[in-house]
């Protein structure tokens, strides 16, 4: 995109993203990972939780996490639409933020659109919700060892990067899969229970 459009936005450009599952009896754990983003201000990587979203055309970061990094933000004017057909205007963007895995064997520059918030806590389950089979997983090999514990999301990584980071998959059961990635194993779970996941941009 030309710099003139970014620095002097006049007409909103629309992109589409979606990663929510609504009003369904099937509960899917959203794929999450812990990644590092390089901060020039802190001269180190800052770790945050990301959702890996194959339905999103762009990458997103919360304003709180962006402020923590201290990276330069550029003024833009994007309209983001999702499955609910609601449109949110995005006013800021960070270019070339370097993302890394834990041992820095993988790094990649990404552009992030900045939103004041991305989702409710993920997964959106009650405090007493536990799945016995998760106890058998060696969490030290996981991209997000706390994937089944509700927590805030700092970023969304879209489809552009997914094909680069996924290495293969290992099926544990009919509804539990471990996807090998540069960030370690990403858990995918598909369960038949009455829950609703809702993604909210603001």
85 pLDDT above the threshold of 50: yes
Query: Could you tell me which residues come within 8 angstroms of residue 159 by beta carbon, excluding any fewer than 6 positions away?
Result: 53, 54, 55, 56, 57
142 pLDDT above the threshold of 50: yes
> What are 191's two structure tokens?
């369960």
* Tens-place pLDDT, residues 144-192: 998 888 888 999 999 988 888 988 877 666 677 889 999 999 988 765 4
Query: Could you tell me which residues come within 8 angstroms of residue 23 by beta carbon, excluding any fewer than 6 positions away?
Result: 196
* Tens-place pLDDT, residues 105-122: 999 999 999 998 887 667
pTM of structure: 0.76
């Amino acid at each position: 995109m030309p710099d003139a459009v970014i620095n002097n936005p006049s007409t909103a450009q629309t992109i589409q993203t979606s990663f929510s599952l609504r009003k369904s009896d099937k509960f899917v754990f959203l794929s999450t990972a812990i990644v590092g983003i390089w901060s020039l201000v802190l001269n180190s990587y800052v770790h945050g939780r990301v959702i890996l979203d194959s339905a999103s055309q762009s990458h997103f970061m919360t304003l709180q996490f962006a402020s923590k990094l201290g990276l330069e933000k550029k003024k833009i004017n994007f309209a983001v639409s999702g499955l609910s057909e609601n449109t949110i205007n995005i006013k800021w963007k960070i270019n070339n933020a370097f993302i890394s895995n834990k041992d820095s064997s993988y790094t990649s520059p990404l552009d992030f659109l900045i939103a004041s918030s991305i989702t409710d806590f993920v997964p959106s389950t009650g405090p007493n919700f536990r799945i016995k089979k998760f106890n058998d997983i060696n969490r030290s090999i996981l991209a997000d060892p706390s994937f089944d514990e509700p927590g805030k999301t700092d970023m969304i990584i879209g489809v552009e990067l997914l094909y680069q980071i996924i290495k293969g998959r290992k099926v544990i059961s009919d509804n539990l899969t471990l996807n090998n990635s540069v960030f370690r194993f990403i858990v995918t779970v598909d369960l038949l229970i009455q829950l609703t996941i809702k993604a909210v941009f603001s």
